[in-house]
A and B are shown apart, each in its own frame.
Chain A
Amino acid sequence: MASHAHHTNEFDETAPLAKPQTKVIWKTFFILCGLTAIEFAFAFMMDAGTLRNAIFIGLTLFKAFYIVAEFMHLKHETKGLIWAVLIPTVLLVWLLVALLVEGTFYGESVFNYFQ
């Protein structure tokens, strides 16, 4: 247990337990529920289209931010860890968009060639 040397095995068994700190957790929960409700509102009250899809993706990224930052606690980690996770993810999104754009173009040109 060398990596946990800062933890002690001999803590006081009789010490009173600290009070739960759950305010932020429930706040995040209500934000996530609210964002999901907004997504449903858009799904039923707005016609399908590029704008609606953009709204969906934006709200999804918001939800992802709250899950990763608060539930996974990344916001409170060191800067180095935040960047180590964030930079590959951003590059991954770039790859995804590039594959979709290029792939769609390529797919269409091959498809049209054999028409």
Chain B
Amino acid sequence: MSQTTTFEQPNTGTWDGGNEPFKASYGKLMMWFFLLSDAFTFAAFLTTYGLARHRHKAYEGTPEAFTFSTEWWPIPEKVFNAFPGFHGVDWPLAFVALMTMILILSSVTMVLAVEAGHRMDKNDVQKWLLWTILFGSMFLGCQAWEWTHFIAGTEEGMKLADGSVIHGANLLVNQYGPPLFADLFFFITGFHGTHVFSGVVLLIMIFINTVNGVYHRRGHYEMVEKVGLYWHFVDLVWVFVFTFFYLV
């Protein structure tokens, strides 16, 4: 008898099933947990960077007297000081500041697209998605330039003890300092750039869907929100890469 009474009473608790305890859809929750796992990947990169940096001597002289050497880890403002169109001019960190601004701006236009989606404003969603795609592509272009410059190197290069000179960097040799510095630059900014690239691809996909009215017919723009979460995460990673690679 006691069994039938339990069957007659439906379970209505938060975690009894049939509702959303986190008040977020399955897709949005899974995006959050994917981003969490992605954070593990980048944390592994930053740990590797920290350990590799600790194993090398830090530069101890004044910044003015700094020269490239495999003896010590380079100081970032002497490595990243070039700007497109200003050949040979020393503008420390100016280009990376521009890249940071572009990425923050793209985050803002993304959140504006999500906001427009809440209001079911198709035109605004299209407009802000286009801006986000534009800024995202601009960031990728900047990174392509920075990589090209980093790989090609400067005219002075680094003089070795045997008199030969290294220009630029690849995975084996590096004019800016220990080879590991270039390796970590390629891996960390490369991984982040790949994320930006996937983000731009996703943005183009949801832009096409928005134009075709897929989300309008569906009755909600949640897909824009999910891609937005991913896009903000990419911005978040850049904030950390920027601090640990270009500032510290």
Complex alpha-carbon distance, A80 and B21, angstroms: 8
Do residues B32 and A85 form an inter-chain contact, with CB atoms below 8 A? yes
Do residues A25 and B111 form an inter-chain contact, with CB atoms below 8 A? yes
CB-CB under 8 A from B220, the residues of chain A are 4, 7
Do residues A72 and B39 form an inter-chain contact, with CB atoms below 8 A? no
Given contacts A22-B115, A81-B32, contact A17 B121 (CB under 8 A): yes
Chain A CB within 8 A of B240 CB? yes
CB-CB under 8 A from B25, the residues of chain A are 3-4
CB-CB under 8 A from A96, the residues of chain B are 43, 46-47, 50
Which chain A residue has the least Cβ–Cβ distance from B92?
A: A44
Contact residues of B between 95 and 119, Cβ < 8 Å to A = 97, 100-101, 104-105, 107-108, 110-112, 115-116, 119
Chain A CB within 8 A of B222 CB? yes
B14 to chain A, nearest CB (A): 9
Complex alpha-carbon distance, A44 and B247, angstroms: 10
Do residues A64 and B104 form an inter-chain contact, with CB atoms below 8 A? no
Contact residues of B between 161 and 179, Cβ < 8 Å to A = none
Interface string of A90-114 (1 = CB under 8 A from B): 0010011001100110010001000
Interface string of B8-51 (1 = CB under 8 A from A): 00000000000011111111010010001001100100110011
Do residues B236 and A68 form an inter-chain contact, with CB atoms below 8 A? yes
Complex alpha-carbon distance, A69 and B40, angstroms: 19
Given contacts A17-B121, A22-B112, A36-B97, contact A78 B21 (CB under 8 A): yes
Complex alpha-carbon distance, A30 and B111, angstroms: 14
Complex alpha-carbon distance, A26 and B32, angstroms: 24
Binding site for B on A (CB under 8 A): 1, 3-4, 7-9, 11, 17-18, 20-22, 25-26, 28-29, 32-33, 36, 39-40, 43-44, 48, 53, 56-57, 59-60, 63-64, 67-68, 70-72, 77-78, 80-81, 84-85, 88-89, 92, 95-96, 99-100, 103-104, 107, 111
Contacts A9-B217, A33-B101 known; 12 new A-B pairs at CB < 8 A: A7-B220, A11-B120, A36-B100, A43-B247, A57-B248, A67-B232, A67-B236, A71-B108, A77-B23, A78-B21, A78-B23, A85-B36
Please, could you name 15 A-B residue pairs with CB atoms under 8 Å apart, sorted by A? A9-B219, A17-B119, A20-B112, A20-B116, A64-B240, A67-B107, A72-B236, A78-B21, A78-B22, A85-B36, A92-B43, A95-B43, A103-B51, A107-B51, A107-B55
